[in-house]
Amino acid sequence: MNLNKPTAHEIVDMVGNGKVTAVEVTESCLSRIDEVEPVIRSFIRVDREGALSMAGDIDRRIAAGENPGILAGVPIALKDILSVEGKEITCGSKILQGYTAPYDATVVRKLREAGAVFLGQTNMDEFAMGSSTENSGYWPTGNPWDPTRVPGGSSGGSAAVVAADEAITSLGSDTGGSIRQPAALCGVAGMKPTYGRVSRYGLIAYASSLDQIGPFGKDIEDIALMLEAISGYDPLDSTSAPVEVPRFRDSLVDDIAGMKIGVPRECFVEGMEEGVEEMFRAGLEVFRSLGAEIIEIELPRIPYSVACYYILSTAEASSNLARYDGVQYGVRNREEKSLLSMYESTRKDGFGEEVKRRILLGTYVLSAGYYDAYYAKSLKVRRLIKDDFDRAFSVCDSVVMPTSPCTAFKLGSRMADPLQMYLSDIFTIGVNLAGLPAISINCGFDREDLPVGLQIIAPPFAEGKILRAAYTFERNTEFHKRKPEL
């Protein structure tokens, strides 16, 4: 039996009732990794011994009659942005090579307590800056549906490992779409929770007011399960919200009769690929046929979200990344004679092009003469975007949009034009600016047989509504069952 193929909830059942062992499941994933990694290249490091020893512990706990947790024996991959005590963490960057995390991120600790098994760290755009994983300081990752194409980004590795059945589920982070867009391009489910729902302690910061950790899964039940495991107030993150964590699995109800789904007029943008629009419209029909009411809404400030995001996120990044100066973390250029030249040459060699571009941009928009014109102005625009969503949620329960205007594109095809790459974040970024929860689910395939993502957005802390709509969609369609031929 291919034990790398089932979902997390199936594995928890099988391991829990003794049908299979956590070690067997882990071995299955490890051999799948050996099989496909030469083409997909989604892991920066695989921790064989670590994974097998965690799995062995779970099996021993089960044999001893202990309760091993809600994710007992589930092999999980972690984006290389999440701290695991004693393990190397590089955030996809050369500048952090050799740096070992001194503690567990809160989500990592929670997954441990839930009985998960860690397979290793996945590839990503350096410091989570990108939409294709091509900005990785190491190598690009291939899309399991067509390895000559990108898996999306920045959590491209975490999306690809789930699509390719190398890991059962995974964690990524989403600052402007980095969970939802790669989920869409790889044909899996990916969820960004409400800002504050999941602790950011131990997550390497890109843009702290936007960053949020979330899961990838093969189905919606796995998303609910993972969300339950990682959510909750954490005194170690001052922006974590003191709100109760519901049992998200209770929201898995196959019924959306009467749900009001808002579709923003602004989402039919120029440049959206035909295949995306076609499958998105077909997805709306699925919701309608299941009894949801589709209403046209307006999010008039959404067209400004990309500009707003690239000012605020780069401003925050320029500050967050100032700490990588060769003194405390990772690599140091030792040939330099003075402190200043050591800083300069470490950062020059350690950071890639995109990271440098964003530090420059962020430093510029925060500089004395431009702060009001750019940074302060963008904060106001951010508020207006939040107001747009608030207004929408006064007339509908959830908002549905495509996740990305395009399906997976060819590796290398968009690297020459960063602005074009930024514009492809148009549907995901507003959600981060407004701090909302959103999921991307597979709603079909375009003519080249590449997956298309549909996004469901809800008011703050209403993840349950999203799960219910996504679960109902999944129960009444077959798309999530298709697997790439690899």
Catalytic residues: 79, 154, 178
Please report whether residue 316 would count as binding ligand GLN according to CB under 6 A: no
Residue 309 or 393 having the CB closest to ligand GLN:
309
- 3-state SS assignment for residue 170: strand
CB of 154 to ligand GLN, least distance (A): 4
Dihedral through CA 121, CA 127, CA 129, CA 130, nearest 10? -30
Binding mask of the shown chain, residues 59 to 98, with x at each position contacting ligand GLN by CB under 6 A = ----------------------------------------
Residue whose CB is less far from ligand GLN, 386 or 482: 386
C-beta closer to ligand GLN: residue 26 or 175: 175
Choose one: 56-64, 96-104, 122-130, 400-408; the region binding ligand GLN (CB under 6 A).
Answer: 122-130
CB of 432: closest distance to ligand GLN in angstroms? 7
Q: Of 103 and 422, which has the nearer Cβ to ligand GLN?
A: 422
Instruction: Kindly state the smallest distance separating residue 365's Cβ from ligand GLN, in Å.
Output: 15
Query: In the complex, what is the shortest distance from the CB of residue 314 to ligand GLN, in angstroms, rounded to a whole number?
Result: 9
Q: Which is nearer to ligand GLN, 128 or 213 (CB)?
A: 128
- Of 178, 212, 398, 403, the one binding ligand GLN by CB under 6 A: 178
Q: Is 411 in the site for ligand GLN (CB under 6 A)?
A: no
DSSP string, 72-128: TT-EEEEETTB--TTSB--TT-GGGTT-B-SS--HHHHHHHHTT-EEEEEE--SGGG
- Work out the burial of residue 359: count CB atoms within 10 Å of its CB; fewer than 13 is exposed, 13-18 middle, 19 or more buried: buried
- Told to check if 130 binds ligand GLN by CB under 6 A, we report yes
Contact 202, 103 (CB under 8 A): yes
**Minimum gap (Å) between residue 302 Cβ and ligand GLN:** 16
CB closer to ligand GLN, 26 vs 170: 170
- Interface residue with ligand GLN, options 122, 154, 170, 407 (CB under 6 A): 154
Contact (Cβ atoms closer than 8 angstroms) between residue 69 and residue 113:
yes
Cα distances from 146 to residues 77, 82, 185, 225, 257, in angstroms, run 21, 28, 10, 29, 37
131 binds ligand GLN (CB under 6 A): yes
Compute the least distance from the CB of residue 131 to ligand GLN, in Å.
4
Query: Of residues 90, 170, 175, 231, which one binds ligand GLN by CB under 6 A?
Result: 175
Which amino acid belongs to residue 380? Answer: K
Q: Build a one-symbol-per-residue string for 182-211: x at contacts with ligand GLN by CB under 6 A, - elsewhere.
A: ------------------------x-----
CA 104, 433, 174, 444 torsion-angle sign: positive
Q: For 218, how many CA atoms within 13 A lie in the half-sphere containing its CB?
A: 23
Question: Which one of residues 8, 71, 129, 381 is an interface residue with ligand GLN (CB under 6 A)?
Answer: 129
Say if CB 395 and CB 295 are below 8 A apart: yes
d(CA 20, CA 5): 13
Q: Is 128 in the site for ligand GLN (CB under 6 A)?
A: yes
Query: Contact 382/308 with Cβ under 8 angstroms?
Result: yes
Nearer to ligand GLN, 305 or 398 (CB): 305
Position 176 contacts ligand GLN (CB under 6 A): yes
Report the residue closest to ligand GLN, judged by CB: 178
Tell which positions 206-235 bind ligand GLN, by CB under 6 A: 206
Compute the least distance from the CB of residue 225 to ligand GLN, in Å.
23
Smallest gap, in angstroms, from Cβ of residue 130 to ligand GLN?
5
Give the residue from 25, 38, 104, 130 showing the smallest Cα distance to 71: 25
Q: How far is the CB of 128 from ligand GLN (least distance, A)?
A: 4
Q: Tell me if residue 51 falls in helix, strand or coil.
A: helix
444, two tokens: 């079909």
> Residue count at the site for ligand GLN (CB under 6 A)?
13
Strands 75-79 and 117-122: parallel
Beta bridge partners of 120: 46, 77
Task: Give bridge partners of residue 39 from the DSSP assignment.
Answer: none
Smallest distance from the beta carbon of 316 to ligand GLN, in angstroms?
11
Task: Write each residue from 423 to 442 as x if it is in contact with ligand GLN (CB under 6 A), else as -, in one continuous string.
Answer: --x-----------------
Which region among 89-97, 176-184, 289-297, 469-477 touches ligand GLN (by CB under 6 A)? Answer: 176-184
Residue 187's CB is within 10 A of a number of other CB atoms, namely 30
Site for ligand GLN contains 314 (CB under 6 A): no
Q: DSSP of 252-298, one letter per residue? A: --S--TT-EEEEEGGGS-TT--HHHHHHHHHHHHHHHHTTPEEEEE-
CA gap 99, 103 in Å, rounded: 12
The residue (of 124 and 164) whose beta carbon lies closer to ligand GLN is 124
318 binds ligand GLN (CB under 6 A): no
**Contact yes or no for 328/195 (Cβ under 8 A):** no
Q: Which residue has 């291939």 as its token pair?
A: 142
Which of 165, 174, 273, 446 touches ligand GLN by CB under 6 A?
174
Residues 6+ apart with CB under 8 A from 140: 41, 132, 133, 134, 150, 411
Contacts with ligand GLN by CB under 6 A lie at 128-131, 154, 174-178, 206, 313, 425
